[in-house]
Amino acid sequence: MLKRSSRSRLAMQLKILVQMALICKMTTMAWFVPPSSVGYFTKTALTDSRGQSATISNIIARRRGRRHFLAKESSEHDNNNISTSSTTTPPLSSFISEPFRLWIEDTDAYGVKFNANYIRSYERALYQFAHKHRQLNNWDSSSQQGGVLIQYPDFYLTKVTNHKFRISPGLGEEFVITGERIEERGLDGTSGSTEDDESTETETWSLEMLNYTEEDSSSEKVKTSPLKYNNAVVTIAAPKKIDASSKTFIESFIHDDDMDDPSLTILDSQYFALHRDEFDLHMPGIVPIRTALTLFERSRSTFIGGPDALRRMQEDDNLLWVVTSVDDMAVNTSPGINADILPGTCVRVDSVFELKRKGMIIECKQQIVTGSVKDSEVVISQGIVTLCAIDSVKKRPTKIPEHVRDTLMRNSK
């Protein structure tokens, strides 16, 4: 048996060893956890992305739950619609995107999502869906399967219509985009099935932008969300080589008879140079729809007196101009040799502004024209943009003040 003094020394040594082990453990943790974070995982209340109180552990758990929901949604969606063989994989006809967030770069001077940036979000969602589908199925381009969206990573938008603007996501808020393919058309312009992909040239998709919260745990909750930000019907096309010898026409919908009521109709033309960053790299000879919408806005602002005039209307008259819809938006995919659509090219934006509902609504028929002489002019893009005058204080549609209306008529050409 050990003597009492020996047992005491042994107990003391064990105690020292335990203390040293604890010190080593805490030192190791200090390499991975910032000193300011110690204790925050269990004690300190934080504010999450929705402004609610939560601990870091709870936030992490919710975000893991969100990733689990997205992974589960993708898995169920793929299992229901995708064959494991890349040679027999049918094209998917619907999707729910992963959450996107509204960044400062997406907003305009009014603090809401700029109208052309909705198209950018829709393009990103379509590409994200197609890219994910190709990765999950070891897609092989030689299989000639998957329709325009899946078959051509460098697809582009040719048309947008029924584009309705309801409410903008708030800065930092998240949203998802749902898509449903509603039509496919072949090279001959007739409706076709993407099962015969070689004859499919365009696809039309119905898209919606919905709010997203981390509590959403099923696709049904997302689809039945009561808050819809935006929706649009877009047509995408397979990329093609720009042939200067061929030429297609977009018939101008701006005619002389648009002046039936000069008191309500205003004509205007503005000139702008195209910049390099306003083109898509894979389609350098075509003006993208989102660029056309930006040029339309630039033309409207210039016509009314410039951005400073818009600022004065906001400050002096509490007047905001918001886009409520875009219809019949299209780009010319084969403008011909005379179009010469390159960075630095000067284009003309023609506009017909028609005042409706006592001036609260302005319908803008706009088109982009290029060509060196009158006979060679080509419409390279056009669309109908509807604006609404909003009282920034009451947050309601309002009649345009008389002095603003007089300015519009005075600037008419």
Per-domain boundaries in the chain = 60-239, 242-413
Q: Does the pLDDT at position 51 exceed 70?
A: no
- Which of the pair, 137 or 203, is modelled with greater confidence? 203
Q: HSE on the CB side for 350, CA within 13 Å? A: 16
Q: Does the pLDDT at position 276 exceed 70?
A: yes
- Which of the pair, 44 or 75, is modelled with greater confidence? 75
Q: Does the pLDDT at position 217 exceed 60?
A: no
- Which of the pair, 59 or 202, is modelled with greater confidence? 202
Please state, in angstroms and rounded to a whole number, the distance separating the CA atoms of residues 100 and 123: 12
Q: What percent of the chain has pLDDT over 70?
A: 61
Q: For residue range 277-295, list pLDDT tens digits in order.
A: 999 887 878 899 999 999 9
Q: Who contacts 403 (Cβ-Cβ below 8 Å, separation ≥6)?
A: none
Q: Does the pLDDT at position 247 exceed 50?
A: no
Structural contact between residues 205 and 182, judged by C-beta atoms closer than 8 angstroms = yes
Burial call 245-277: b when 16+ CB within 10 Å, e when fewer: eeeeebeeeeeeebeeeeeebbebebebebeee
Q: For residue range 315-350, list pLDDT tens digits in order.
A: 999 999 999 999 999 998 776 655 678 889 899 999
**Is 403 in a helix, a strand, or coil?**
helix
Q: Could you tell me the two tokens for 117?
A: 């940036």
pLDDT on residue 40: 29
Q: Residue 13's Cα: distance from chain center in Å? A: 67
Please state, in angstroms and rounded to a whole number, the distance separating the CA atoms of residues 307 and 330: 26
Q: Does the pLDDT at position 52 exceed 60?
A: no
**Is 392 in a helix, a strand, or coil?**
coil
Please state, in angstroms and rounded to a whole number, the distance separating the CA atoms of residues 208 and 389: 24
Q: Does the pLDDT at position 49 exceed 70?
A: no
How much is the mean pLDDT over the chain? 74
pLDDT on residue 72: 44
- Which of the pair, 250 or 151, is modelled with greater confidence? 151
Q: How far apart are the first and last CA of the chain?
A: 113
Reported pTM: 0.71
Matching CATH topology for 60-239 and 242-413?
yes
378-391/396-397 β-pairing:
antiparallel
60-239 CATH fold: Thiol Ester Dehydrase; Chain A (3.10.129)
pLDDT grade for 90, boundaries at 50, 70 and 90: very low
Structural contact between residues 105 and 315, judged by C-beta atoms closer than 8 angstroms = no
Q: Could you tell me the two tokens for 228?
A: 């819809």
Q: Residue 97: exposed, middle, or buried by beta-carbon count in 10 A (0-12, 13-18, 19+)?
A: buried
- Which of the pair, 67 or 260, is modelled with greater confidence? 260
Q: Highest mean pLDDT: which of 5-9, 216-220, 386-390?
A: 386-390
- Which of the pair, 400 or 375, is modelled with greater confidence? 400
- Which of the pair, 22 or 286, is modelled with greater confidence? 286
Average pLDDT over residues 360-379: 83
Q: Does the pLDDT at position 26 exceed 50?
A: no
Is 242-413 assigned to CATH 3.10.129.10? yes
Structural contact between residues 297 and 353, judged by C-beta atoms closer than 8 angstroms = no
pLDDT grade for 101, boundaries at 50, 70 and 90: very high
pLDDT grade for 144, boundaries at 50, 70 and 90: low
**Is 316 in a helix, a strand, or coil?**
helix
pLDDT grade for 45, boundaries at 50, 70 and 90: very low
Structural contact between residues 163 and 116, judged by C-beta atoms closer than 8 angstroms = no
**Is 42 in a helix, a strand, or coil?**
coil
Q: Who contacts 105 (Cβ-Cβ below 8 Å, separation ≥6)?
A: none
Please state, in angstroms and rounded to a whole number, the distance separating the CA atoms of residues 237 and 204: 9
228 to 118, 179, 327: CA distances (angstroms): 13, 13, 19
Q: Does the pLDDT at position 33 exceed 50?
A: no
Please state, in angstroms and rounded to a whole number, the distance separating the CA atoms of residues 216 and 293: 33
Structural contact between residues 129 and 98, judged by C-beta atoms closer than 8 angstroms = no
Calculate ∠ Cα 366-124-225, nearest 5°: 90
Enumerate helices (H) and strands (E) in the chain, giving the number of each: 8, 14
Q: What percent of the chain has pLDDT over 90?
A: 38
Q: Who contacts 405 (Cβ-Cβ below 8 Å, separation ≥6)?
A: 355, 359
Q: HSE on the CB side for 3, CA within 13 Å? A: 3
Closest to 263 in 3D by CA, of 388, 409, 399, 400: 409
